[in-house]
Amino acid sequence: MMRVLLRWSRLCCGGGGRGPLGRRLRLLWSYWRVVLKSLYFNSLCNSDSMLDAVFEPIYWLVDNLTRWFGVVFVCLVVALTCSVVVIVYLCVLPVILNTYPLHRVLGHLCYGHWNLIMVAFHYYKATSTSPGHPPQERRDMPTVTMCKKCIVPKPARTHHCSICNRCILKMDHHCPWLNNCVGHFNHRYFFCFCLYMTLGCVYCSISSMDMFIEAYNAVESYRSLDLQLPGDKVTGAGLLYSLLPPGYMQSSYQTAAPQYTFRERLFHKSIIYLWVLTSSVALALSALTLWHSILILRGETSVERHINRKEAQRIKQQGKVFRNPYHFGRVSNFKVLFGVEKRSHWVTRVLLPSSHPPHGDGLTWDAPRHRTDPMAI
């Protein structure tokens, strides 16, 4: 608009003696058409492109808020996890040591510390590991399209993240709780974190169930006591008042001694906080873990799920059946994700902390056995 106004001022003011007014208006209209047409990439522009252009400020605002709040979300995850660990060590573990038999105590100690190590390790690796980016200088790698934002070739399964403002290899999604994209090199860490965090929350919720019920009943009991008056007036004593010494009528109210100390009340509220937090996180995170397990079974990411659905509908209209070129089989998909090459890797690479690299470089993908011509989507 500034260019159009500048052009108008030049035609009306600077070129007074060079031609009639009609010629100036025609020149202005020609320039206006050029400016309008320059807004389009090509002739394939449609209503979706126009809507994207209209909502671009909203996308920019959401992306920047997500980028900045990512640090807050990471701090929140660390703070909530540390609070749960502190409550377990100070409140739950002493009860287990004093009431449970020796074999159950050893079981709780071994499983709880193993689960805690797995959660901390995979969360740190998921947040600190780069998801992978296509190289900027290489031109000999196989590509399927060009990125409109980076203006660089994109390999298969690579997508642009508007929050990170970079192309991500095998992009699944941008996770604000990690403040990082989930891609080729940290997909395993993200999934294992979700899995072990779900198991840990379920374990804490089940282990503290009985303590939660007792703490809830205790809180309700002393909350009802706090709502009562300081004492209950003694009535209906009749001639009994005449037998009392003088001045005793003034103390007709009696207040019972508190049943719970401050430390006991803090203990009860901590147990309730622990159970509510772990139960709610277990429900939400188990649904997320189940969803990603289904995606892994199908050999696709969250982004590819939407792409494959549209592609399947398009091919179905042609009387054909869509087949995912990156589906190696349900068990084989998990083997590719976890990097399992032999049986011992299920223990050393899945049940124990391992920082081994994923299968492949994220630029090229092996074709499954049922395909000899891999198709990029």
Helices (DSSP H) in 10-146: which residue ranges? 21-37, 47-54, 56-87, 93-99, 102-128
Q: What is the CA radius of gyration of the chain?
A: 33
The mean predicted confidence, pLDDT, of the chain is 82
Q: What is the pLDDT of residue 21?
A: 73
Beta strands 153-154 and 145-146 are antiparallel
Q: Which residue has the tokens 């508190």?
A: 258
Spatial separation of the C-alpha atoms in residues 348 and 354, rounded to whole Å: 7
- CA torsion 144-146-150-156 (nearest 10°) is -10
175-228 pLDDT, tens digit per residue, is 999 999 999 999 999 999 999 999 999 999 999 999 999 999 988 887 676 655
Domain range list for the chain: 47-136+172-227+261-351
- Could you tell me the two tokens for 35? 């400016």
DSSP per-residue letters across 123-165: HHHHHHS------SS--SS--SEE-TTT-SEE-TT-EEETTTT
- Residue 136 — pLDDT band, cuts 50, 70, 90? confident
Is 175 noted as a catalytic residue in this protein?
yes
Amino acid sitting at position 147:
C
Residues of the chain with pLDDT > 90, as a percent, come to: 48
Spatial separation of the C-alpha atoms in residues 128 and 125, rounded to whole Å: 5
- 3-class state of residue 217 by DSSP: helix
> Does residue 111 carry a pLDDT above 60?
yes
Residue in 161, 164, 167, 175 annotated catalytic: 175
Work out the widest C-alpha separation in the chain, in whole angstroms: 124
